[in-house]
Structure 1
Amino acid sequence: MERAIRFYKNAKGQWYADIPEWNGDLEDLQMVEGADTLLEWVSKSKEECTLLMADNRIEDAEILTLIYARETNLGGGGDYILETFQGDFKNHKLWLCNVTEFVFKQLPEKIYFKEA
């Protein structure tokens, strides 16, 4: 599955995913615990960016690898690692909440992404 997702900063500088079909709380779409840092890198500190994301390999994509699936009482979703970004070693850990499962219909072992 491939999907372009827009991410944007609110007036407080907090990152959110723009997923129109999400019926949950807006807070569920906030990017925290390292995902916000990744979006700063991708956007080069701009106010928004759009990422093409997939659970299958896409050409010239960066790769997030699942290292731990969290139980619901720990926030659900999964902890991922980004070993490299744009050719630089990062070893950056981040959390993607259960909205990831909503988007992909599962918690992917790998998420491929690049700017759309």
Structure 2
Amino acid sequence: MERSIRFYKNAKHEWYADIPEWAGALDELQMVEGADDLLNWIAASANECNLLLADQHFEQAEILELVYIREENLGGGGDYILENFRGEVKNHRLWLCHVTEFVFKQLPERIYFKEISFD
């Protein structure tokens, strides 16, 4: 499964995923608990970025590894670790909520990603 998603910052500098078919609340699309830090690294000083996300490896992909599946009472979704990013050791832990399961139809063991441009 492969999917391109746009991420953007609002006026309060909070990151959100742009998923038009999402029928839930907007706050469920907010990127928090480390996912916002990752987007800041990717976007640098920009207020948005576009990522190609997949549950299968592709060329030049960065890798998020699932380390813990959260129970629903802890927010659901999963905790992932980004061991390396752009050739630098990070060991950065982040949480991806149940929206991840909506996008991938599961909680992938690995999520492969890279920044892309939408033309």
Aligned residues: 116
The separation in 2 between residues aligned to 1:85 and 1:46, in whole angstroms, is 18
Question: What's the offset of the Cα at 1:45?
Answer: 2.5
What value does the CA root-mean-square deviation take over the aligned residues? 0.4
Partner of 2:75 in structure 1? 75
Misfit runs of 4+, over 2 Å: none
Structure 2: gaps (5+ residues): none
Identical counterparts, % of pairs: 72
Q: Please list the CA deviations of residues 12-63 of structure 1 after superposition, one character each: whole Å capped at 9, or x if unmatched.
A: 0000000000000000000000000000000012100000000000110000
For residue 87 of structure 1, report the CA deviation from its aligned partner. 0.2
Query: Secondary structure of the equivalent of 1:59?
Result: coil
Where structure 1 has 5 or more consecutive residues not aligned to the other structure, the ranges are none
Q: The residue matched to 1:53 in structure 2 has which SS?
A: strand
Task: Determine helix, strand or coil for the equivalent of 2:41.
Answer: helix
User: What's the counterpart of residue 45 of structure 1?
Assistant: 45
Structure 2 matches for 1:98-113, cutoff 5 A? 98-113=98-113
Q: TM-score, normalised by structure 1?
A: 0.99
Alignment-derived partner of residue 94 in structure 2: 94
Normalising to structure 2: TM-score of the pair?
0.97
Amino acid of the structure 1 residue aligned with 2:4: A
